[in-house]
Structure 1
Amino acid sequence: MNTIKEKPKIILVTGGAGFIGTNFIQYMLCNTNDYIVNLDLLTYAGRLSNLKDIEYNKRYDFVRGDIADLALLEDLFAKYKFDTVINFAAESHVDRSIDNPEIFLQTNVLGTQALLEVSRKSWKLNSNDKYNLKYRENVKFIQVSTDEVYGTLGKEGVFTEKTPLAPNSPYSASKASADMVVRAYFETYGLPVCITRCSNNYGPYQFPEKLIPLIINSAQNNKTIPVYGDGKQIRDWLYVEDHCSAINTVLHKGKNGEVYNIGGNNEKENIEIVKLILKLLGKSESYIKHIQDRLGHDRRYAIDNSKIKTELGWSPVTSFESGIIKTVQWYESNKNWLKNAF
């Protein structure tokens, strides 16, 4: 576990009631002295109950709101004087993006641009700013992105930070667009930014439309488990706490303007994941039902995380074998969470 001690930061975390944001806030409150403000609109996948254990923590505030609301953002920046923004807020489910691309562009692109603009104004003094925001030269903007922006791989090869962007779904296209806007704010305005691109996360609090909690939830309720196509799509799996420690490392050590890939070094076929979880739960493979593959379904993702490893000294510490057991145990112990998630 990476524990970094220095002067406490004042961090705006957007989308902190979602899966990765929830885990990140808990990680930071346990491992740093930073002050966290969680801005979340609480759409279908955001659950404030995820953070009930820290509700009264003196280093934590929650604000319900939209990252695209400029007036709200200006008020928050004036009140808290953030020196850090970590943007988790995003519509993130590929199937939903196929059904309704517009909301993905609104949140993932325009919302990110609004955050960047207010961050820029708070970083460089603007004498015409009615809030009279002050210089905050140590402001840092971390854009939490995804390996899906790179598109798909064949049987060989890995994604590096220099891999051309080639998104294949409205979701990944919206994330790639947001990444480009973040880069533009660095190149044009000099705003200190870093972009992280992670592989598939898993762990506690993940909304059950995603593969691993979907398998667990279906198996617990003796329901069929839908598997797209032949189920041989390959993903690199990253335990969410490892992802949190990586983001914290980028925050403290990352070079402005750089992209850092974050992977778990755990390539698995989807069907392999399904069968493993059924085995852990003592369920039969007869629950598996192959269905028509979804549109634009990428065949394989694999991340080369050597840059963050060699330049920043971060590596994942959770093997997939141990991480999946911890994950299944968490969902087994929190059946009501799954039951109430929809």
Structure 2
Amino acid sequence: MNDNEWMRGGTVLVTGATGRVGSRLSERLLDLGAHVRTVVLPGDPGRSRLDARITVIEGSLGDREVAESAVHSVQAVVHLAALMDWDRSAAPALFRSNVEASFHLLDAASQLPDFHRFVTVSSDEVYPALAIDGDIHEQLSLAPYSFYGLTKQLDEVLTDFYGRAYALPVTTVRFALTAAAEEITRHDGWSGRLFFASGLRALFAGLGRLDAVAVIDGAIADQDNTLLLPRDHSGASYRNHFCDVRDLIDALMLLLTEPAAVGDTFNVSGPESFEYEDVVPRLSEALGIPFVELELPGPAFSIKTDISRIRDRLGYAPSRDIETIISEVGERS
């Protein structure tokens, strides 16, 4: 059973509060009576959209003084902020923005006398999800395929260390791909990029699967306005697993408040995975744009995230699958 008494009138640092997850989490916390603090980079266009009740510190979490100021006197931290870039040249910036920032926050939080929870947000890229044929569970060996994924693995190592060495009440969550109806309709949307031909092409290019890129280029001219139903050489459909933002917020609240979350790591995703062959035709109809079915060289993605740990231990009960999201797309059309 959780105890939220500290939250009413307490202060929670939510890094990344200008993002789609952080903004919604901040609203939930504010509605429960918590004070919310965040850090924004100079010139961040999302600052103007922040709830007026949020206390804003301007600066970079890679700066130790900024991080210490942000953590001062808070009761909890939800560390969502991260630089996401898959270009090799971005490695130095990724290390500073992700790893150094996490170190500064954890170190500062470990010195607070009245502190309840530090939630480190990681990613399924630490496994890596795209290379696993079978259920993705927390006991799998970590082997990130991107420097971004490596920074999240290092964040997890730091979090575990501060929990063990300094008794900091920590928990780590590995997000699967997060989806929302407003994003799935665009080729450049965070979840839409895994349905539109241009987004999948970019993903294959980043993974070095240039033979798959060549097939897509040869078959689809208008890639920004065409959905792709991918299959492998045997005709098997690709599989993926999304988490609706609203379910994700429910999970974060459990991780922030449930005593059983301390010292553990949890996958978070939606209730069920899906096959592209079941979803792409429906999404095509909802959006009113065409889809193309292609057999691509190389193995199919077959992502299925095991969420039994957070479901069984913390009572997480996601209710919105990909069909829910597509239905909402149709309602908006």
Return the TM-score normalized by structure 1: 0.75
Provide the residue aligned with 1:47 in structure 2.
46
1:83 matched residue in structure 2: 75
**Equivalent in the alignment of 2:217:** none
Query: Within 5 Å, which residues of 2 pair with 1:50-129?
Result: 50-51=49-50, 54-55=51-52, 57=53, 60-78=54-72, 81-93=73-85, 96-121=86-111, 123=112
**Cα deviation 1:247-266 (Å, max 9, x = unaligned):** 10111114321111112133
Percent identical: 21
Which of 166, 184, 191 is 2:161 aligned to? 184
Change (3 A) 1:110 1:76: closer
After superposition, the CA RMSD in angstroms is 3.5
Instruction: Give, in whole Å, the separation in 2 of the partners of 1:84 and 1:70.
Output: 18
Shift of the 13–170 alpha-carbon distance from structure 1 to 2, 3 Å rule, reads: same
Sort the Cα spacing of 1:298 and 1:49 in 2 relative to 1 into closer, same or farther, 3 A. farther
Cα gap change, 1:233/1:24 in structure 2, threshold over 3 Å: closer, same or farther?
farther
Matching of residue 193 in structure 1 with residue 185 in structure 2: no
Q: CA deviation at 1:112?
A: 0.7
SS in 2 for 1:28: helix
What aligned pairs does 1:150-189 form with structure 2 within 5 A after superposition?
Answer: 150-152=127-129, 156-189=133-166
Q: Which AA in structure 1 matches 2:317?
A: S
C-alpha displacement of 1:65:
1.9
Matched residue count: 299
C-alpha distance in structure 1 between counterparts of 2:223 and 2:123, whole Å: 32
Report the Cα distance in structure 1 between the residues aligned to 2:331 and 2:89, rounded to whole angstroms: 33
CA distance in 1, matches of 2:68, 2:311: 36
- Deviating beyond 4 angstroms after TM superposition, the runs of 4 or more aligned structure 1 residues are 153-156, 204-207, 213-216, 225-233, 269-275, 288-293, 327-330
Cα shift at 1:324: 3.1
Report the 3-state secondary structure (helix = DSSP H, G, I; strand = E; otherwise coil) of the residue aligned with 1:161: coil
SS in 1 for 2:172: strand
2:319 matched residue in structure 1: 317
- Determine the C-alpha separation between the residues in 2 that align with 1:298 and 1:185: 38
Q: Which moved more, 1:264-273 or 1:312-321?
A: 264-273
Q: CA deviation at 1:321?
A: 1.1
Inter-partner Cα distance in structure 2 for 1:118 and 1:270: 45
Q: Residue type matched to 1:147 in 2?
A: D
* Structure 1: stretches of 5+ with no match in the other structure: 124-134, 333-342
1:13 equivalent in alignment to 2:19? no
Task: Confirm or deny that 1:202 pairs with 2:196.
Answer: no
SS at match of 1:11: strand
> Residues 326 and 63 of structure 1: is their aligned pair in 2 closer, same or farther, counting only changes over 3 Å?
farther
Q: Please point out which of 228, 248, 252 is paired with 2:253.
A: 248
> Which residue matches 1:129?
none
Question: Structure 2 unaligned runs (5+)?
Answer: 199-221
Note the C-alpha offset of 1:204: 6.1
Q: Determine the structure 1 residue equivalent to 2:284.
A: 278
The alpha-carbon distance between structure 1 residues 167 and 322, as it changes in their structure 2 partners (threshold 3 A), is same
Point out the more displaced range, 148-157 or 244-253: 148-157
SS at match of 1:91: coil
Indicate how the Cα distance of structure 1 residues 106 and 6 shifts in structure 2: closer, same or farther if over 3 A, else same. same
With normalisation by structure 2, the TM-score equals 0.76
Distance in 1 (CA, whole Å) between partners of 2:275 and 2:91 is: 27
* 1:25 match: 26
Name the structure 2 match of 1:34. Answer: 34
Deviation at 1:273, TM superposition (A): 5.2
SS at match of 1:113: helix
Whether the 8 Å CA contact 2:282–2:326 is kept in 1: the answer is no
